[in-house]
A and B are shown apart, each in its own frame.
Chain A
Amino acid sequence: GDSVTQMEGPVTLSEEAFLTINCTYTATGYPSLFWYVQYPGEGLQLLLKATKADDKGSNKGFEATYRKETTSFHLEKGSVQVSDSAVYFCALRGGGNEKLTFGTGTRLTIIP
């Protein structure tokens, strides 16, 4: 079945550091890939997505590129801010599948 593996947290970085959160997936067909973010005390919200190979999703300075050859969708940001502190979830929706499959989440803490 479909699955998503993302790097274990927690991740703690200083403000303005470079961020990478790794995500790899297993799926049949051609899945769509997503990053969701959960700020403290809130529900998840979509951060960015990519629907086919080599697509790059981007939002709020975050980027992720759909790499079919490595089955990866790593999240990156060049300069993080304290307000980026949250839990980040990688997710996929397989072709013909009716549900999103989430990774286990990575807690990110940015210190000033």
Chain B
Amino acid sequence: DTAVSQTPKYLVTQMGNDKSIKCEQNLGHDTMYWYKQDSKKFLKIMFSYNNKELIINETVPNRFSPKSPDKAHLNLHINSLELGDSAVYFCASSQGGRGGGEKLFFGSGTQLSVL
């Protein structure tokens, strides 16, 4: 069984559209994250949730809205997509309470291409 699974794996869409990426973890972890990896492989945290509560919100446009219906799921909704949103988005989870964990388990990524 995949520990952290995210869908879709590839997402190609037009500028201005709204899209969602879903993430689920079956590890029983308390904390989930969204990371963005740009074309140069630079990895930057976007959001972190602990037990459905937002604990990290980096400087991300408010077009990006995470939603955590329960602690096993953290979805990412993006409104009015822009060319610069093209990247690989990684979901991750860890165990460790509000401080998060040191060992993150990553999904395999969603490659978003905005045309």
Q: Which residues of A contact B (CB under 8 A)?
A: 32, 34, 36, 41-46, 49, 51, 87, 89, 93, 98-102, 104-105, 107
Contacts and interface: CB of A to CB of B under 8 A. Distances in A.
A99 B48 contact: yes
Given A45-B106, A46-B104, A98-B55, 4 more contacts: A49-B103, A51-B102, A98-B98, A98-B100
B4 interface: yes
Interface string B70-96: 000000000000000000001010000
Interface residues of B, number: 23
B69 interface: no
Contacts of A87: 41
B74 to A, nearest CB: 14
Given A32-B102, A43-B109, A98-B100, A107 B41 contact: yes
Given A98-B99, A99-B56, A99-B100, A89 B43 contact: yes
A51 B101 CA distance: 13
Given A42-B108, A46-B104, A105 B41 contact: yes
A34 B100 CA distance: 15
B98 A34 contact: no
B44 interface: yes
B102 A34 contact: yes
Minimum-distance CB pairs A-B, first 7: A43-B106, A105-B41, A102-B43, A44-B106, A104-B42, A46-B103, A43-B108
A34 to B, nearest CB: 7
Nearest to B44: A102
A89 B41 CA distance: 9
Nearest to B88: A43
B45 interface: yes
B49 to A, nearest CB: 11
Contacts of B109: 42-43
28 contacts: A34-B102, A36-B104, A41-B108, A42-B108, A43-B90, A43-B107, A43-B108, A44-B92, A44-B106, A46-B103, A46-B104, A93-B102, A98-B55, A98-B56, A98-B98, A98-B99, A98-B100, A99-B45, A99-B48, A100-B100, A100-B104, A101-B45, A102-B42, A102-B43, A102-B44, A104-B40, A104-B42, A104-B43
